[in-house]
Amino acid sequence: REKISVFIDHDIIFRNFIFTPAFKDLESKFDVEYVFPEKNNKRFTLNPERYLNKNKIKRVKEISQRKKYWRYLLFLSVMKPSLDQRLRNLRNFRIFTLGKKASFIFILLSMPLLRQTITFILKKYLLKSRYLDLDNYFNEAKPNYVVHPTVLDGIYCNELVIFSKKYNFKTIYIINSWDNTSTKNLLVNLPDFLFVWGQQTKKEAINFMGMEQKKVKIFGVNQFESIKKIQRNKLTKQNFNKFKNKILFAGSNAYVNEFDCLSEFEKLCINGKNSFRITYRPHPWSTGGYNGYRFNLKKWSKIQIDKSLKTYLGSFSSSSKITEKINLPKQEDTYFTLSKV
């Protein structure tokens, strides 16, 4: 059978593609092997041996310096002056995402001759200095295809395309989220095929990344497939009263003051003497928003915290850092919460 190597470099991607049956069909038709970063990697902290066949797991160590240099190459390429409208759009977009200071530096460095010199030096370094662990893996594994679910900014995303030329395999990248083709993308080397969520991300892949239209395939949203399990009654005037007082407050960002928002909601509910039922579901890696530890210091009368994330929220204190902990709730917990609202 033909062989597929699946590269995964982040806990969240592992959750979305391994905790779901995303690759079950592939495993039945191909010889599938999974590749992860070294143990105790900052991006990947899970133990894949708990969920996958140990004989189908390989480790390839991250070289963080290489990832940084690939980013520099992308910024130099995008920031160069151009009359081409697509390239100008890319430049304006990257200025927006980088910020004024960093953009100013890369605009200066992207001037003719200077940009060419820096690009030559960086490319020579990246191509001459071997990524030995990755080279050894492909020399031994010899896959026909490499599948890489990714945010388009990671450990392997620029490296795999380089090795595909040397070892003659096809690269298939699958975006992990809706913003990967726009704000997250840091690809210098484009894959053979890119699987995206829908028409919007397909358009962004073509306009922002420079992918050829025929190489962008609409794949859908793997992590949301199981949402079809939720059975909902059609909302009508007759049954509206049954649902109208239920509110789900979904957390979104580590810098949003969700505690104050919900405190105001509770005041409105108490002062208005209404029967609203509010369920708060923290975002599973935003620590309950700005100073989210305060949720543990207050007894709520009108707010109910989603049971599946109570332990996560309760683990924070005033000294906790925003990026300190990531919670990976089961998909079924999310669907259960939605079904009750």
User: Per residue of the chain (341 residues), what is the pLDDT tens digit?
Assistant: 999 999 999 998 998 999 888 899 999 999 999 999 999 999 999 999 999 999 999 999 999 999 999 999 999 988 988 887 777 877 887 888 788 899 999 999 999 899 999 999 999 999 888 899 999 999 999 999 999 999 999 999 999 999 999 999 999 999 999 889 987 888 999 999 999 999 999 999 998 888 999 999 999 888 777 666 666 666 676 666 666 788 889 988 777 899 999 999 999 888 877 778 899 999 887 888 888 899 999 999 989 998 888 888 888 887 766 555 566 666 656 655 555 55
- In one-letter notation, the amino acid at residue 276 is F
Q: Is 1 helix (H, G, I), strand (E, B) or coil?
A: coil
The pairing of beta strand 303-305 with beta strand 57-59? unpaired
What is d(CA 79, CA 108) in angstroms, rounded to the nearest whole number?
9
Tokens matching residue 22: 């995303």
Strand 303-305: give its sheet, edge to edge: 246-250, 277-281, 303-305
Q: Are 78 and 94 in contact (CB under 8 A)?
A: yes
The residue length of the chain stands at 341
pTM over 0.75: yes
CB 150 within 8 A of CB 193: no
